[in-house]
Structure 1
Amino acid sequence: MVGMRDVAKRAGVSLSTVSLVVNASGYVSQDMRRRVEQAMQELDYIPNELARNLYRGRTGMIGVIVPTLRHPFFATLVSALQGRLAKHDLQTLLCSTADADTGEAEYVSRLRRHMMDGIIMAAHTDHPADYWTSIGRPVVAFDRTLGDTIATVRSDHEQGGRLVAGQLIASGAHRVVMVGGPRSQFDDRGGGATTFPTVRYFQTLAEQLEAAGIRHEYVECGAVADVEGYARTVHALFDRLDESRSDGGAAHAAGVVPVDAVVGSDVVAACAVKEAFTRGLRVPRDLQIIGYDGTCLADCAGLSLTVVKQDFSTLAERLATHIVDAVNRADGRGKTTAGAGAAEAVVPAGAAEVAQTVQSSEVDIVPVSLSLGDTTRPVA
């Protein structure tokens, strides 16, 4: 097996020079570096990654904790994030809390034992803020607040709520049903620490509809990992809508306004399109449907969905930037990447409001955009 001593001999340099080149540490002249790299290529020398990481005091591994990979949102996010971390020579160690027995506590234990360099936390947690801040190791939060000293990256869900409301108000909606996760996850642990991230867009949407005099209600579906639960909830909702339509005369006499819009995740929206087709409803004439996320389902639901798109590429970039900065700070190397390559997200022309991107050590908010499809009525 070829080792660094063989490379040093071939290149005619010291073993320490080869070590500096392999571990990318210390100064080596360009001439020396070329000689070492040429010798490595000629001998087909492959550096021992484990030994190199031990030398650097790192594992080269970032734990990414998500609730499930069955939901297209998290599958899309992890795909983008894995590619972005790889550009920093970091491997992704994935923990899907609902799909495996290994939960967040095991990953935190590994982090404390320096078996990982850091954690990106993107799942619901019952632990209070002081649990996360007491770890004393690099942690970055996605779409939730874990503590004042832990950086958070999230989409601008308030903007998302305003974009949905603006579309529904302008298109003449009368009664809107919002379908989302359990209300038990809507709690606030202080300082806006919502554990169910998209509650922000539901709250903003409800406020905007209320102000416009449009009736609305919230329907709970299962936890994010219960994809079948979304389908069951939407099916039951349409059963209820069928009953109200069959008793239309009495309902009209009682002043009941029929539901003419459904809002939920891409999964909910796709299920709603299917149910509408099955029951002979005309979309968007009889029923408008708006999705939230902008995953592949937006184009695979039978109709092109009108959706609020989250910017997965920028979210992944910001998460990678923050975790690399946190790891560098833990190593005493200072902050080296914050803000680097942070692409400016632009809301498409015609959107009523454009939210400014917030860059700070505490929260990094990425704008969203509204993509119009075939499931909403055109507006003048």
Structure 2
Amino acid sequence: MVGMRDVAKKAGVSVSTVSLVVNASGYVSDEMRSKVERAMRELDYIPNELARNLYRGRTGMIGVIVPTLRHPFFATLVSALQGRLAKHELQTLLCSTADADTGEAEYVSRLRRHMMDGIIMAAHTDHPADYWTSIGRPVVAFDRALGDTIATVRSDHEQGGRLVAEQLVKSGARHVVMVGGPRSQFDDRGEGATTFPTVRYFQTLGERLDAAGIRHEYVACGPVTDVEGYARAVHLLFDRLSESRSGGSARDSGVGDAGIPPVDAIVGSDVVAACAVKEAFAHGLNVPRDVQIIGYDGTCLVDCAGLTLTVIKQDFDTIAERLAARIVDAVNEPEGRESKDGEDSKAGKESNNAAAVDIVPVSLRTGDTTRPVA
């Protein structure tokens, strides 16, 4: 096996010079660097990554914590993020808190013991902010607030709520049902404190619908890890809708009091929207004439639901780019100084005390599940 000594002999330089070139540390003249790189190519020398990382005090590993990979949103996010981290020569160590016996605490322990270089936290946590800020190691949050000094990357969910509301108002919706996680996610622990990302778009949508005089209600499902729970909730919702349309009393149907317009629009994640299309077909309802359906995420499900969904698309590529940039910055600058964003970044940024918050715009793609608007 070719080693540094062989490269040094071939190039006519010292082993320490080869080490400086391989580890990109210290000054080496252009002439010396060219000699070393030429010798490395001729000898087909492959640097020992483990040795390089030990030299740098790094592992080359980034822990990515998500609630589950069974949900298409997190599968799509991890796929994009793994590719971005690889461009920074970083490997992804994945923790799915619902799909494995070890949860976030094990990964935090590894981070504290310098077995990883940093953590990207993309799962709900019950730990208070001082737990995360006391770790003293690089942590970046996705779509949740973990502490005043921890950088966050999130989608512009307020924009998402406005886009959904605009679509529904213009298309003549009269009664909207929002389907999401447990009501506990709306627990107000201070502005921006929630670790549930969808709160912002539900709240913004509700405010806009109120302003337009459109009735709306919220149907709670289980946590994001309970994918089947969303299907069950949508099934029960359509059973009630079908009963009310077929002459059952509104009170018995659970839709509302007599005289209230029937539900004619459903908003939820791509999983919810796909299930809603299936249930509408099963109950003999026409989409979008009888009921409009809007998804939120923009995963592969939007084109696999039987109809092309109208959907709020989160920009997974930009989210992954910003998360990778933030964790690399945190690893390289442990004091937490903010990195300078490139001029071509698509993400907006706001101040959250000492922490940076990158806000990534979303977009509305209209499909076959909403009525045309003027």
Instruction: Give the TM bin, normalised by the shorter chain.
Output: over 0.9
CA distance in structure 1 between the aligned counterparts of 2:337 and 2:161, rounded to whole angstroms: 37
Q: In the TM superposition, what whole-angstrom CA distance separates every residue of 1:230-263 from its partner, at most 9, and x where no partner exists?
A: 1111111111111111116878992131100000
Indicate conservation of the 8 Å contact 2:346/2:361, yes or no: no
Alpha-carbon distance change, 334 to 169 in structure 1, aligned in 2, over 3 angstroms: closer
Alpha-carbon distance change, 89 to 180 in structure 1, aligned in 2, over 3 angstroms: same
Equivalent residue for 1:339?
Answer: 341
Amino acid at match of 1:55: Y
User: Structure 1 residue 297 and structure 2 residue 297: aligned?
Assistant: no
TM score, norm. by length of structure 1? 0.93
Q: What secondary structure is seen at the aligned counterpart in 2 of 1:362?
A: strand
Cα displacement (A) at 1:162: 0.7
Structure 2: 5+ residue runs without aligned partners?
Answer: none
Equivalent residue for 2:27?
Answer: 27
Q: What secondary structure is seen at the aligned counterpart in 1 of 2:8?
A: helix
Identical pairs, percent: 82
Q: What secondary structure is seen at the aligned counterpart in 2 of 1:53?
A: helix
CA distance in structure 2 between the aligned counterparts of 1:31 and 1:253, rounded to whole angstroms: 83
CA distance in structure 1 between the aligned counterparts of 2:114 and 2:126, rounded to whole angstroms: 23
- Of 227-236 and 253-262, the range deviating more from structure 2: 253-262
| Matches for 1:212-251 after TM superposition, within 5 Å | 212-247=212-247
Cα displacement (A) at 1:321: 1.1
1:325 to 325, 329, 333: 329
Amino acid at match of 2:67: P
CA distance in structure 2 between the aligned counterparts of 1:42 and 1:266, rounded to whole angstroms: 52
Amino acid at match of 2:320: A
Indicate conservation of the 8 Å contact 2:77/2:316, yes or no: yes
| Matches for 1:62-211 after TM superposition, within 5 Å | 62-211=62-211
Indicate conservation of the 8 Å contact 2:319/2:360, yes or no: yes
Equivalent residue for 2:349?
Answer: 358
Amino acid at match of 2:17: T
Equivalent residue for 1:260?
Answer: 264
Q: What secondary structure is seen at the aligned counterpart in 1 of 2:242?
A: helix
Indicate conservation of the 8 Å contact 2:330/2:336, yes or no: no
Cα displacement (A) at 1:88: 1.1
Equivalent residue for 2:373?
Answer: 379
Structure 1: 5+ residue runs without aligned partners?
Answer: 346-356
Equivalent residue for 1:349?
Answer: none
Indicate conservation of the 8 Å contact 1:321/1:340, yes or no: no
Cα-Cα RMSD: 1.8
CA distance in structure 2 between the aligned counterparts of 1:259 and 1:250, rounded to whole angstroms: 11
Q: What secondary structure is seen at the aligned counterpart in 1 of 2:349?
A: coil
Cα displacement (A) at 1:334: 6.3
CA distance in structure 1 between the aligned counterparts of 2:24 and 2:356, rounded to whole angstroms: 31
CA distance in structure 1 between the aligned counterparts of 2:350 and 2:26, rounded to whole angstroms: 32
Cα displacement (A) at 1:40: 1.6
Q: In the TM superposition, what whole-angstrom CA distance separates every residue of 1:197-235 from its partner, at most 9, and x where no partner exists?
A: 101100111111111111111001121111111111111
Q: What secondary structure is seen at the aligned counterpart in 2 of 1:77?
A: helix
Indicate conservation of the 8 Å contact 2:156/2:359, yes or no: yes
Indicate conservation of the 8 Å contact 1:171/1:379, yes or no: yes
Alpha-carbon distance change, 72 to 43 in structure 1, aligned in 2, over 3 angstroms: same
Amino acid at match of 2:240: R
Cα displacement (A) at 1:333: 10
Q: What secondary structure is seen at the aligned counterpart in 1 of 2:333?
A: helix
- Of 180-189 and 48-57, the range deviating more from structure 2: 180-189
Q: How many residues align?
A: 367
Amino acid at match of 2:71: H
Indicate conservation of the 8 Å contact 2:266/2:294, yes or no: yes
Q: What secondary structure is seen at the aligned counterpart in 1 of 2:34?
A: helix
Cα displacement (A) at 1:186: 2.5
Equivalent residue for 2:274?
Answer: 270
Indicate conservation of the 8 Å contact 1:321/1:338, yes or no: no
Q: In the TM superposition, what whole-angstrom CA distance separates every residue of 1:248-292 from its partner, at most 9, and x where no partner exists?
A: 687899213110000000010000001111111111001100000
CA distance in structure 1 between the aligned counterparts of 2:9 and 2:156, rounded to whole angstroms: 57
Equivalent residue for 1:48?
Answer: 48
